[in-house]
Amino acid sequence: MIRKKVDTVAEALEGIQSGMTLMLGGFGLCGIPENLIKALAASSYKNFCCISANVGVDDFGLGLLFGTQKVKKMIGSYVGENQEFERQMLSAEIEVILTPMGTLAEKCRAAQMGIPAFYTPAGYGTEVAQTKEIREFNGKNHLLETAFASDFSLVKAWKGDEAGNLIFKGTARNFNPLMCGASKITVAEVEELVPVGSLDPNQIHTPGIFVDRIFQGDHYEKRIERRTVQNT
Amino acid sequence: MALTKNQIAKRIAQELKSGDYVNLGIGIPTLVANYVPEGIEVEFQSENGILGMGPFPKAGEEDPDLINAGKQTITPLPGASYFDTALSFGMIRGKHIDLTVLGAMEVSDQGDIANWKIPGKLVKGMGGAMDLVASSENIIVAMMHTNPKGESKLRSACSLPLTGVRCVKRIVTNLAVLDITSDGFLVKEKAPATEISQIVKATEGSLIVPDYVPVMKLD
């Protein structure tokens, strides 16, 4: 058994440096690595390139990294809902690359799976296709998209064991499993860290081989972005 | 009377067939889930990672780990499943999703669609829209026939940045149901108490009007 457990957030982030490229799991505020984001926001590191589906809200989630001016480049799919991010984007303080959501997911997965590039029809005939190789397969045009190259993946799971095996919950799974093993170092924070042997191998979503460091986070807020209920 | 947004959704719901896996976009398309005809069994996908999406939760039963692509809290129906976002777009790209319904700012008479960016206005991103329109075989657009300025949204060419090319099959607006054909927008049905002349006036792209155009049935 190879142990991946670390005891502190500082240990989990050891080796991180300014200017690195980071993948951050989560969709909106759902399934985000809250403890790791807070630690980065409080650190002296900056000029990160962040790869994540969205940009959080002003005072929570990935938004904490924009509020503290930690990001110089953002690669994402939908970047609404955060005013400070908008300000930095409009004043060109940060570079923003918008990517179709399925392509974003697959660029993470390709990095994880050792596939350098892939063809997808998404974005053909649009500005996303500019500068990209176009190739026809089965009568349909596709763009060549490349795998991401990233230094750290920071992900969040529901449960994990000390060997780094992960189980996700609900739609908090989203981009998290795709980012595991997609960077040089993968750090997973979990709501519940259990001893090896406690999780049923049949139920593991991400095997521990894709995870380098794991720790149990605390004080999860799990804020809801759009609380929507039935009319009664 | 031109259709309300809810009536547009109700008309689109008539397109649902039992066994369809359906992706509904944000806005009018979301309302389609409220009008699934009796006896029709479909499953709704949300591209962040759920199949078998059900209604919003009751107050007090919201789960922060359970949201749709619009970030709203949701519930799963019996038989639902969760998965990662790459698998989700595999369902879309691999044509396992049978029907995609989405909103648009403009559609051209060739079936091009623009729905993600207005030059000079704040860009929020395309989300999953480009993946959906590039891969779905059956795309229905739900939108008003004209924009708030009164300009036609059914055009000979889109003036806004494109989301996808030659992909839309059918449009349901407040005035009509139209199919995209090699000759342009073909009027299939008109809204109740709507004159063909209104549809002609509100359509900038090539329009084909058959001799007889039935009135939409909404009951």
pLDDT tens-digit map of A16-33:
999 999 999 999 999 999
Are A27 and B163 in contact (CB < 8 Å)?
Answer: no
Q: How confident is the model at residue A206 (pLDDT cuts 50, 70, 90)?
A: very high
The alpha carbon of residue B155 is apart from the nearest alpha carbon of chain A, in Å, by 17
Q: Cα–Cα distance between A171 and B66 in angstroms, integer?
A: 5
Are B84 and A174 in contact (CB < 8 Å)?
Answer: yes
Q: Cα–Cα distance between A103 and A148 in angstroms, integer?
A: 11
Instruction: Return residues 114-153 of B near A (CB < 8 Å).
Output: 122-131, 134-135
CA B207 to chain centre: 20
Instruction: For residue A116, give Cα distances in angstroms to A142, A150, B87.
Output: 16, 13, 19
Are A229 and B63 in contact (CB < 8 Å)?
Answer: no
Residue A69 above 70 pLDDT? Answer: yes
Residues of B with a catalytic annotation lie at 47
Q: Cα–Cα distance between B5 and B143 in angstroms, integer?
A: 8
B18-45: pLDDT as tens digits: 999 999 998 899 999 999 999 999 999 9
Q: Mutating which of A55, A57, A118, A126 best tests the B interface, going by the most B Cβ atoms within 10 A?
A: A126
pLDDT of residue A231: 83
The alpha carbon of residue A71 is apart from the nearest alpha carbon of chain B, in Å, by 18
What ipTM, to 2 d.p.?
0.97
* Pair B191, B141: CB distance under 8 Å: no
Question: According to CATH, what is the number of the domain A9-101+149-216?
Answer: 3.40.1080.10
Q: What is the mean pLDDT of chain A?
A: 97
Residues of chain A found within 8 Å of residue B64, distances taken between Cβ atoms: 29-30, 172, 222-224
- Reference A89, options A74, A102, A70; nearest CA is A74
Please give the helix or strand (H or E) that residue B106 lies within, else none.
strand B106-108
HSE, CB side, 13 Å, CA atoms: give it for residue B124. 10
B213 touches chain A (CB under 8 A): no
Residues of chain A found within 8 Å of residue B47, distances taken between Cβ atoms: 101-102
Are A29 and B64 in contact (CB < 8 Å)?
Answer: yes
Query: Count of A–B CB contacts within 8 Å?
Result: 168
Q: How confident is the model at residue A117 (pLDDT cuts 50, 70, 90)?
A: very high
Residues of chain A found within 8 Å of residue B130, distances taken between Cβ atoms: 100, 103, 122-123, 126, 128
The alpha carbon of residue A104 is apart from the nearest alpha carbon of chain B, in Å, by 9
Residues of chain B found within 8 Å of residue A168, distances taken between Cβ atoms: 82
A154-192: pLDDT as tens digits: 999 999 999 999 999 999 999 999 999 999 999 999 999
A175-184: pLDDT as tens digits: 999 999 999 9
How many H helices and E strands in chain B?
5, 13
- Reference A153, options A189, A186, A108, A176; nearest CA is A186
Count of positions (residues) in chain A? 232
Instruction: For residue A179, give Cα distances in angstroms to A75, A156, A188, B155.
Output: 14, 10, 10, 41
Minimum-distance CB partner of A126 among B50, B88, B163:
B163
Are A173 and B83 in contact (CB < 8 Å)?
Answer: yes
Residue keyed to tokens 């069994």: B41
- Reference A128, options A143, A141, A139; nearest CA is A143
For residue A41, count other CB atoms closer than 10 A to its CB: 17
Segment B189-208 mean pLDDT: 97
Q: Cα–Cα distance between B140 and B132 in angstroms, integer?
A: 11
Is A79 in a helix, a strand, or coil?
coil
Residues of chain A found within 8 Å of residue B63, distances taken between Cβ atoms: 170
B102-161: pLDDT as tens digits: 999 999 999 999 999 998 888 899 999 999 999 999 999 999 999 999 999 999 999 999
